[in-house]
Structure 1
Amino acid sequence: MVFALQATVFMPQIKEWIGEAKQTVPDLYPVELVLTFSGAELSTNVEEPYVLPLPPKWEAALLSSEDEQDEEDDEDEPQFTHLLVIDTTATVEEYPEYETAVLLTKTAVIARDDNGLRVVFYREFQKPGTSPIIINRELYNEVTAKALPFLDFIPAIIFTLAVFAVLLLPWIAAPFILLGYLLYLLVFTLLAWVLAAIMSRKFTYGELYKLGMYGLTPAILIEWVLHWFHTGIAMLFSLIFLVTMGIVIHAFPKKGSKKAASVSAKSPKKSKR
């Protein structure tokens, strides 16, 4: 459901991004640049360090997103002003000095992700003895000409996933959620059983298990409301469940009370034939 709402809200921005990408990406690769990967090592035909700057619109979007972040995040997360830097003399430790999103060294490509730096060595995709891989503007144009048209399918894919999330996902998720609650009751019915004994009420485990299915309702509703307010309290769900079960158990007569005996006496007896 949340994904469907987000897809609806951000669809105009997604379409705008697709339009900008189709205009910007074809010209990202410099005409003069040739990259040669041979023996799991990179060589170039340009003077290094070679810098590919961020496209103006990308840089503006990056600055805008940085302004929206908390000050603490800005301090912890390194910033970059370049899209790509090529320097075959660089090391992994020198990555922050280049202020770039991606750094190509002699033996590896270095970028950052949510967990810090990610280093991928060329030997992972170029095995010993394989032919050299040469990347130039001509090859880049061929790849982008085939890949960019697929961007037009992104809105349709997102819309399909949103419809799936709204109509089908709840039906798929419901059995697993129900199973989770049933397993939860297997444990917490024991606590309700202890509670019933303390309150001098006589129940079998099976009776309390069935009552627990109804006793879960207030806990589920309150948890759902708190979820939408992005609030959570540890063990609140279990506390609400046990309080609800305590109220339900208290409504039944105590063992050995006159009321219990009266109820027992009024129960119909089986006729003897």
Structure 2
Amino acid sequence: MAGSKKEIGTGFITEVDRYLFNNGRHYEIFEKMGAHPKKYKGKNGMYFAVWAPHAEQIGVVGDFNSWDPEANAMMPLADSGIWEAFVPGIAAGELYKYAITTKSGKILFKADPYAFSAEYRPGTASLTTDLSDFQWGDDAWMDKRGSADPMNSPMSIYEVHLGSWRRKNRPEKDGCYTYVEAAKELADYVTDMGYTHVELMGIAEHPYDGSWGYQVTGYFAPTSRYGTPQEFMYFINYMHKKGIGVILDWVPAHFPRDAHGLSEFDGEALYEYADPRKGEHPDWGT
């Protein structure tokens, strides 16, 4: 059975990938899951992969197919709960979701948990992107970090929430600084104050501003409130070139119940405990 299912796959996710994923030891799984520009059978397009072991069927939907759940069906890969599809003709900048048909026949429209980019709120779709063309310039920083002794090096951290640190007098995105705008001013401030590191609060994609980024719907997507993934990469690159380390907060303990997010992702408890005594934070609604 495993052999027959493996043969109909694209080959982008291998048997070794699935083995490591099933054992919780695929530490570069973000390179496989989500949406990635690929060439398949001579055609350029986008490869999609999502984990939904309880689903009856899944379709990739977006403006490119009028959000039709049956237009671009995904296929299950053996022994993994992973579904995949290659959609030719799609490039970066396309909104998309997964239309997941549950065992009860209900169709759930879910954002991609592994997406690198997301639609700006109140939109809830994921966004295809291509990160391959960014040119990093932080080799000196990375070399220095690799040879440093962290146990005996001075460390002083400036924790900051980008959305409320400083704002511009403009209506776009509530005046929030972009990643590019914040980079220079924040680097100058941190350097003047003698800090060695910046710690960004709740930078992963989240639907509710009031959570300060601590109710996440996209763990691999820097929030679109402040710009694109490439602009976020610019921010990191700039900080490193100025000799400043960057620490990212992330939230493994809870996520919101928003319909497009991780809650009952494929119609059943998947990312959460099925038992509500463990699976719910009643005080937070997460």
Q: Same fold (TM over 0.5)?
A: no
Looking at secondary structure, tell me which structure has more helix per residue. 1
TM-score interval, smaller chain: under 0.3
Instruction: Calculate the TM-score normalised by the size of structure 1.
Output: 0.20
Looking at secondary structure, tell me which structure has more strand per residue. 2
Larger Rg: 1
Instruction: Calculate the TM-score normalised by the size of structure 2.
Output: 0.20
